[in-house]
């Protein structure tokens, strides 16, 4: 598990990871609408996720919301849902009809990106014991842990990376319907998904100003680089998303949601690309200034897609949506 850890390693800062007692596969499913307002997506969500027909114990473990502007300048509202795999499959067998009705009736571009998450295929990393994202659905957090803070720490935390060759993946294959307005993509094994979050909601005014003036702008540059020039390094898609509350109002959180050919794409970008080095450098200035009183919380979750574990589908969406620019049509 610790193939990449330098000898006698002591991490420069503490970090935690989530724990689950039950090892049933999890599932992440993103549902989104390309729209200037969230109303229609919200109405679908209230029907399908919050009220009927799901009695709560078999509903999603968590639902979050976000908004971003994509590479084509199009606004997107999205629901981020985490599930136990069996609950997701039960729910989707009925919910899918309503999803396609929603797509038909709204004439909006809508998309969903979903991945099965066996426990040995993903990791979580938190800069404090406060869980975020998928980690919030865990039973506990453990830490401070040793396996982080060095290149390849991410792979050391994903068991599957020690069991199999996770370098390279085949090109995602896509099937379209006759009108070419429904494109379904089977995500290939080893495709890597990252959700990397920033939460300045716990910061006092001084630290929030510092973060927003000095770190956030370079984060935007890095995310725009991966979004617009991802083909240079194997990144298929990147979105810098504002987290919204349950009323679709902006919060003090963002996250980068990205997909790449394999986990090495993100590892190499983090280790050596000037944009992540700049993000890291600006963050270190803050970390050194505030020391143990630093209130900014960072976290991420990274998954390596299992064989036949990912399904992405784009309906009436423009060509730059998600991983569409990188798929091969069959």
From the CB of 265, what's the least distance to ligand HEM, in Å?
A: 9
Mask: binding to ligand HEM, 113-152, rule CB under 6 A, as x and -? -----------------------------------xx-xx
- Beta-bridge mates of residue 126: 16, 299
- With CB under 6 A as the contact rule, the residue among 158, 183, 193, 194 that binds ligand HEM is 194
Q: What is the residue whose two structure tokens read 């590479």?
A: 71
The helix/strand/coil state of 11 is coil
Nearer to ligand HEM by Cβ, of 48 and 80: the residue is 80
Nearer to ligand HEM by Cβ, of 26 and 240: the residue is 240
Nearer to ligand HEM by Cβ, of 186 and 263: the residue is 263
Strands 75-84 and 192-199: unpaired
> Quick one: which of 40, 19, 41, 23 has its CA closest to 32?
41
CA distances from 312 to 16, 99, 174, 188 (A): 30, 14, 9, 11
Mask: binding to ligand HEM, 253-282, rule CB under 6 A, as x and -? ---x-x-------xx--x-----x--xx--
Q: What is the residue whose two structure tokens read 């990144």?
A: 235
The helix/strand/coil state of 300 is strand
Residue 234 touches ligand HEM, criterion: CB under 6 A: no
CB proximity list for 189: less than 8 A, separation 6 or greater: 169, 170, 305, 306, 307, 308, 309
Nearer to ligand HEM by Cβ, of 253 and 316: the residue is 253
Nearer to ligand HEM by Cβ, of 283 and 314: the residue is 283
CB proximity list for 21: less than 8 A, separation 6 or greater: 139
The helix/strand/coil state of 116 is strand
Please list every residue from 12 through 71 that binds ligand HEM, using CB under 6 A.
15
Nearer to ligand HEM by Cβ, of 42 and 123: the residue is 123
From the CB of 80, what's the least distance to ligand HEM, in Å?
A: 15
- With CB under 6 A as the contact rule, the residue among 83, 283, 312, 326 that binds ligand HEM is 283
């Amino acid at each position: 598990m610790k193939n990449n850890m330098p000898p006698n390693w002591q991490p420069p800062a503490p970090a935690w990871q989530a724990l689950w007692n039950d090892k049933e596969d999890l599932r992440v499913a993103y549902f989104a609408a390309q729209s200037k307002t969230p109303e229609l997506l919200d109405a679908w969500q209230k029907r399908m996720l919050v009220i009927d027909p799901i009695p709560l114990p078999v509903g999603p473990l968590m639902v979050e919301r976000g908004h971003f502007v994509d590479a084509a300048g199009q606004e997107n509202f999205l629901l981020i849902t985490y599930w136990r795999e069996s609950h997701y499959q039960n729910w989707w067998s009925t919910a899918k009809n309503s999803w396609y009705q929603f797509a038909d009736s709204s004439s909006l571009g809508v998309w969903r990106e979903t991945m099965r998450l066996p426990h040995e295929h993903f990791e979580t990393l938190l800069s404090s014991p406060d869980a975020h994202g998928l980690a919030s659905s865990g039973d506990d957090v453990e830490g401070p842990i040793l396996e982080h803070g060095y290149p390849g720490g991410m792979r050391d935390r994903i068991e599957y990376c020690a069991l199999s060759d996770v370098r390279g993946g085949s090109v995602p294959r896509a099937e379209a319907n006759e009108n070419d307005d429904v494109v379904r993509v089977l995500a290939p094994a080893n495709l890597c998904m990252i959700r990397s979050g920033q939460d300045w909601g716990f910061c006092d005014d001084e630290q929030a100003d510092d973060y927003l003036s000095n770190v956030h702008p370079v984060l935007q540059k890095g995310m725009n680089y991966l979004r617009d020039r991802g083909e240079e390094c194997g990144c298929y898609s990147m979105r810098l998303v504002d987290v919204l509350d349950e009323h679709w109002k902006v919060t003090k959180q963002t996250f980068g949601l990205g997909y790449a050919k394999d986990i090495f794409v993100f590892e190499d970008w983090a280790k050596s690309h000037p944009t992540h080095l700049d993000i890291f450098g600006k963050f270190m200035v803050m970390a050194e200034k505030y020391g143990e009183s630093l209130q900014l919380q960072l976290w991420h979750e990274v998954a390596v897609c299992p064989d036949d574990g990912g399904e992405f589908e784009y309906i009436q969406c423009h060509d730059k949506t998600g991983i569409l620019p990188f798929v091969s049509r069959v």
